[in-house]
Chains A and B, each alone.
Chain A
C-alpha cells in the first residue's frame, strides 16, 4: 500500500500560493484559507468578543482577499496583507456595532469539578492569560509571537507608529508577567514613579 503524496500546494510558501492565486489558481487560495482560518479567528475573536461575529469576520476577510487578490504586492509577507485586511474589517465592525446592547449574561450552573481542574491547567497557559488582557494588547502579542511579524509589519497592520507598537508590547508583556511571575518588579519602579503604576488591562 502506498501513502498518497501530499498536494504540491502544501510545500509552497504563503507568498507563492498568493501569486499562484493571483494567476487564477483556486486550489492555491483554498490552501491559504486552510492555513489562516483558525489563526485569523483567534486574532479577531478577542476584538469582537463573540464567536459568531468572529467567524463572520474571518469569512468576510477571505471574501475581501479573494476579490482583491490581484492587489497583493509580493514585497509584503502575505500574512501582513491578510491581517491588514482583517484588522480594517474589525475596526469597521467595531464602529458599526458600538451601540449594540450587550446580551444578558447566561445564568451559570455550578461548575463540574473535572471542568474546574481542566480550567486550572489551562490557566497556566500563557495564551489563556493573554486572552484576559486588553484586546489591543492581545492582538499585538499575537502578531508578534504567533505570526512572528517584525515591528514594521505589525505597525502596518494595526495602523500605528512603530514606537506605539513597541510601547504597547512592552506594556502587554508587563501585564502578563504580573499574572505569571510572583514578585514581578514593575516596569516603572515605585520610587521613581512617585506612586505605584499599574497598567490598565480593561
Chain B
C-alpha cells in the first residue's frame, strides 16, 4: 500500500521542476529495493523523453509549413478602424505621463535635516515648546507624505500597465519588421 503511494509521489515529483520527492518518500526509497528500481526506471524514461526527439517520416515537414503559409491570406485581419490610431495616442500619452512623473520626482525638494543637535543643546525651559514644535513638524511630514501618495498611486497604476507598454514596444518593433 505504502509502495503504491510512494510511487505516485516519485512520478509526481518529475512534473514539479522545483519540488523534489517528499522526505518520507526519499527515506522509503532508500529502504525499499523495488521502489528504488521503480524510481530508477521512471527517471530513465523521463530523461529520454526530455532529450530525444521524435522522427516523423510520413510527412514532408518543410513543405507543410510552406503550403500552409501559401494557403493563408496575404494580410492579417486589420484592427477596427480608428483603434490603431487610438492605441498610438494612448501609448504616446502614457510615455508623456511617465516622463512627467520622473521630472516631478526629480524636482521634489530634499527633506530638511532634523534639528537633533539644536534640540539636545536647548535649556529645560525651552524643551516643552520644542516638543510642541517637533510634534507639529511630524504632522507636517505626515501631510507632505500624504501629498506624495497620489504620485505613488500613479506609479503603481503605471506598473499595472506594464503589459500595455510591452505591446507598445513590440508595435514599434513591428514597424521595422514590415518589409
Contacts and interface: CB of A to CB of B under 8 A. Distances in A.
Contact of A29 (B41, B76, B79): B76
A200 interface: no
A22 B74 CA distance: 14
A173 B72 contact: no
Interface in A166-196: 166, 169-170, 173-174, 176-177, 180-181, 183-185, 187-189, 192-193
Interface stretch (A38-46, A79-87, A91-99, A100-108): A38-46
B54 A127 contact: yes
Q: Find the residue from A38, A42, A75, A185 having the highest chain B CB count within 10 A.
A: A185
Contacts of B100: none
Contacts of B64: 37-38, 41, 55, 58
Interface residues of B, number: 54
A126 B12 contact: no
Interface of A: 8-9, 16, 19-30, 33-34, 37-38, 41-42, 45, 51, 54-55, 58-59, 62-63, 66-67, 69-70, 74-75, 122, 125-128, 130-131, 141, 144-146, 151, 166, 169-170, 173-174, 176-177, 180-181, 183-185, 187-189, 192-193
Interface string B32-73: 001101100110111011101111101101001101110111
A8 B3 contact: no
Interface in B74-88: 74-79
B12 to A, nearest CB: 6
Which 3 pairs, one residue from A and one from B, show the smallest C-beta to C-beta distance? A127-B54, A37-B65, A19-B170
B13 to A, nearest CB: 11
A37 B61 contact: yes
A63 B71 CA distance: 9
Q: Find the residue from B35, B37, B72, B73 having the highest chain A CB count within 10 A.
A: B72
Contacts of A176: 45, 49
B-side binding surface: helix, strand, loop or mixed?
A: helix
A38 B11 contact: no
Interface of B: 1, 3-4, 7-8, 11-12, 14-15, 34-35, 37-38, 41-42, 44-46, 48-50, 52-56, 58-59, 61, 64-65, 67-69, 71-79, 163, 166-167, 170-171, 173-174, 176-179
Contacts of B173: 16, 20
A95 B61 CA distance: 27
Contacts of A25: 76, 174, 177-178
A26 B74 contact: yes
B54 A42 contact: yes
Contact of B59 (A28, A38, A67, A75): A38
Contacts of B4: 187-189, 192-193
Given A22-B167, A45-B58, 17 more contacts: A16-B170, A23-B174, A29-B72, A33-B72, A45-B56, A63-B72, A66-B76, A74-B166, A128-B55, A146-B54, A173-B14, A184-B37, A184-B38, A187-B11, A187-B38, A188-B4, A192-B1
